[in-house]
Amino acid sequence: MKKKRAIKLVEEKLPKKRFEHSIRVAETAVKMAELFSGEADKVELAGILHDYSKYDDLALMYQQVTKYELDSELLAYNSEILHGPVAAAVMKHEHGIEDEEVLQAIFNHTTGSKQMTLTEKIIFVADYIEPGRKQPGVDDIRTMIFDEKKLDRAIYEISKRTVMYLLKNDKCIYPRTIECLNYYNLEK
């Protein structure tokens, strides 16, 4: 899919603020691809499309989990974890995206995963640090990326913060994030 078509799809579907976030994720991802020798075209496309299903009706997303044979375990957790896998399936089956790296990056952008490709890593981090993000401590992650160039360390820190946030709020944690946390824990 061409960049222009992807932008049009997302602009027509998402609220303005979420559309702008998606563009900033794509821009941040392209900068990171330059820094880490990634593939700019892939991260740009994944960045534009990653939140495509973010505001889909929950009932529709449940149907898509069945239709596209996604892990039914996804339904037992916070509904936030659905939109990545659903968007990846929709892009593959309804919009003809074939590039597995782009699809995986969309799929795993919320939870992360163990053994991520460079494209997946970049989208996971870019989503967290794009310039519109204001979460406490986000500048530490920006420094880790743009000054220290420590991509895996940033992935660990983001996973750790997500897990701590979920625990603090008594939310269940989809295990893929725990696998990500353990895999990128460089102390092990």
Which residues contribute to the site for ligand ADP (CB under 6 A)? 51, 54, 77-78, 80-81, 109-111, 127, 162, 166, 171, 173-174, 177
- Cβ nearer to ligand ADP, comparing 23 with 166: 166
- The distance of closest approach from Cβ of residue 185 to ligand ADP in the complex, given in angstroms and rounded to an integer, is 16
- Cβ nearer to ligand ADP, comparing 1 with 166: 166
User: Could you tell me the two tokens for 77?
Assistant: 């957790």
d(CA 143, CA 151): 11
- The distance of closest approach from Cβ of residue 21 to ligand ADP in the complex, given in angstroms and rounded to an integer, is 7
- Cβ nearer to ligand ADP, comparing 51 with 101: 51
- Cβ nearer to ligand ADP, comparing 35 with 167: 167
- Cβ nearer to ligand ADP, comparing 42 with 54: 54
d(CA 142, CA 187): 21
- The distance of closest approach from Cβ of residue 79 to ligand ADP in the complex, given in angstroms and rounded to an integer, is 9
- The distance of closest approach from Cβ of residue 26 to ligand ADP in the complex, given in angstroms and rounded to an integer, is 13
Do residues 57 and 137 make contact, with C-beta atoms less than 8 angstroms apart?
no
Q: Where are the alpha helices (DSSP H) in the chain?
A: 3-13, 16-36, 40-49, 58-67, 83-95, 100-107, 118-129, 138-146, 151-168, 175-183
Amino acid at 14: L
Furthest CA-CA distance within the chain: 45
